[in-house]
Amino acid sequence: MSVTIYDIAREANVGIGTVSRVLNNSANVTSQTRERVITIARRLNYQPHAFAQALARKRSNTLSAIIPFFTNYFFIEVLQGVQETLTSLGYDLIIHGVNSQDQVEEYLQRSMRKGRVDGTLLFSLELPEIYAQEILERKTPLVLVDTFHPKFDSIRVDNTMGAKIATEHLLSLGHKSIGMINANLKSSPAKERLSSFRLTMSEHGISISDDLIMNSPDAKNDGFSRESGYHSMKEFLARGTALPTALFVSSDIQAIGVLAALRESGIRVPEDVSIVSFDDVELAKNFDLTTMSQPMFKMGVLAVKKMLERIENPNAPVTSVDFKPTLVIRASCGANKKYVFHQQ
C-alpha cells in the first residue's frame, strides 16, 4: 500500500522508533542518521497516516463546528476566521451544518465519539442541558459562539449594548415612533435585542405599544432570514398600525426582506422610514444598511484560540467574552447624506 515508517526504517537501516523520532523532531538523534532518514522519507514521498498518528497520540488535530450552516451569512464570516486560524496551526475542521435544533443532538453525539475531534465549536444554538452534563463528564472541550452556558467557554456579542446604541442612534435622529422587526424570541439574541430596545426607549421616556413590535414565528434559523423579514414587514403593514418613522431590525438579512416588502408597498427608505439593523455582514453594504457591526472574523479567531487554551488546560476556569458591537452608519437611517440610497 502506502509507504510507512517501516519502509523508511528498512532503507535507512534503523528502527522505526528512530524514524518516528526524526519525523517528530524529537531530540537525541545524530544529525547523520537524521539526514539519512529525512532524505529517504522525501525520496519515498512519505506521508504520515493521520489516523494512525491520532490513535497513537490520542489527539487528532481536528476540530468540529456545529453551525446553522449556510442560512446566515453571519456564520460564514465567523467561519472564515475559524478556518484561517486553524489552517495556520495545522488543524483540520469538520463542518456540521444543521438546519434545526434536533440535528444538533445528533452532531453533538457524533462529535463526542471519543478521539474523533479534539474539540467542538457550537454556534448560536442552545446547548441542551442533558448534553451539557454528558459533555462535561466526557471532558470533550466545547466552546460556544454566539450562545451561552455557564459551564462552558463562550464568545458573544453584547446584544444589549448593541440594541441600545442602535435605538439611541435612531432617537438622536429625532425619531419618536420606532418599531422593531425581530427574529424568533426563542433565540436569545432576539430576546436580548428586544428587551434592550424596550428598555432604551423607556429610558428615554417613550413607551412602545405591542403593535409596534413584530416577532417572527419562524422556526427556520430562528427567524433570522430574509423571508422572515419580508413576512414580518408584510404583516406589520397589514395590521394597519400607523407606520413608525423608524424601524430597528434584528439582523441585516431580515432587513433585506424588510426592504423588499417596503418597496412593494411604495414605502421609501430612508425618506418614509429609517432602518437600522444588526450584524454588518458583507451584504449589508450592498444595501446601504446602517447596522450594528460585529467583529465576526475576530470572533472566529478568538473561538479557536479559546478552544486551544481549553485543550491545553482542561481545568482552567470557564471564561466568557462579550464583544461590543459598533454602529456603522450608511444610508438606510437617513443620517448619512453622502449616500444616495435610491436612484431616481
- Work out whether 1 is an interface residue with DNA (CB under 7 A): yes
Grid coordinates belonging to 236? 406589520
92: β partners: 62
Does 286 bind its own copies (CB under 8 A)? Our answer is yes
Q: Which of 108, 165, 256, 289 binds its own copies (CB under 8 A)?
A: 256
Tell whether residue 60 is a contact of DNA (CB under 7 A).
no
Which C-beta is closer to DNA: that of 116 or that of 305?
116
Binding to DNA (CB under 7 A): which residues in 85-144? 114-115
Q: Which is nearer to its own copies, 39 or 133 (CB)?
A: 133
* CB distance 254 to 277 below 8 Å: yes
Q: Which is nearer to DNA, 45 or 344 (CB)?
A: 45
133 near its own copies, rule: CB under 8 A: no
Q: Which residue, 53 or 160, is less far from DNA as judged by CB?
A: 53
For DNA, the closer of residues 1 and 238 by Cβ is 1
DSSP-derived 3-state class of residue 278: strand
Query: Which amino acid is located at 316 in the chain?
Result: A
Binding region for its own copies (CB under 8 A) out of 78-86, 187-195, 196-204, 303-311: 78-86
Q: List alpha helices for 182-277, DSSP H.
A: 188-203, 226-239, 252-264
SS3 263: helix
198: exposed, middle or buried (C-beta count within 10 Å: 0-12, 13-18, 19+)? middle
Estimate the share of the chain in helix, then strand, then coil, as percent rounded to the nearest 5.
45, 15, 35
Among 34, 116, 151, 220, binds its own copies (CB under 8 A): 116
**What are phi and psi for residue 60, nearest 5 degrees?**
-105, -15
Report the nearest approach of DNA to the CB of residue 113 (Å).
9
In Å, what is the CA distance from 271 to each residue of 44, 95, 149, 287?
70, 43, 42, 15
Q: Does the footprint of DNA cover residue 311 (CB under 7 A)?
A: no
- Cell for 331? 444610508
**Least CB distance from residue 159 to its own copies, whole Å?**
24
Q: Give the integer Cα–Cα distance in Å for 340 and 344.
A: 10
Which of the choices its own copies, DNA, none does residue 87 contact, using the CB cut-off of 5 to 8 A by kind? its own copies
| Least distance from its own copies to the Cβ atom of residue 3, Å | 8
Query: According to the binding rule CB under 8 A, does residue 80 interact with its own copies?
Result: yes
Q: Which stretch binds its own copies (CB under 8 A): 13-21, 88-96, 173-181, 186-194?
A: 88-96
Q: Which does 13 bind (CB under 5 to 8 A by kind): DNA, its own copies, none?
A: DNA
Nearest partner of 181 among 219, 230, 222, judged by Cα: 230
Using CA atoms, how far apart are residues 32 and 16, in angstroms rounded to an integer? 16
Strand partners, 119: 63
Cell of 199: 428598555
* Residues in Cβ contact with 140 at an 8 Å cutoff, skipping those fewer than 6 apart: 111, 112, 119, 120
Could you list the residues that contact DNA (CB under 7 A)? 1-2, 4-6, 9, 13-18, 20-21, 23-24, 26-30, 32-34, 46, 48-49, 52-53, 55-58, 114-115
Could you list the residues that contact its own copies (CB under 8 A)? 1-2, 45, 47-52, 54-55, 60, 62, 69-70, 76-77, 79-80, 83-84, 87, 92-97, 109-110, 112-116, 134, 138, 226, 256, 260, 263-264, 266, 268, 282-283, 286-287, 340, 342-344
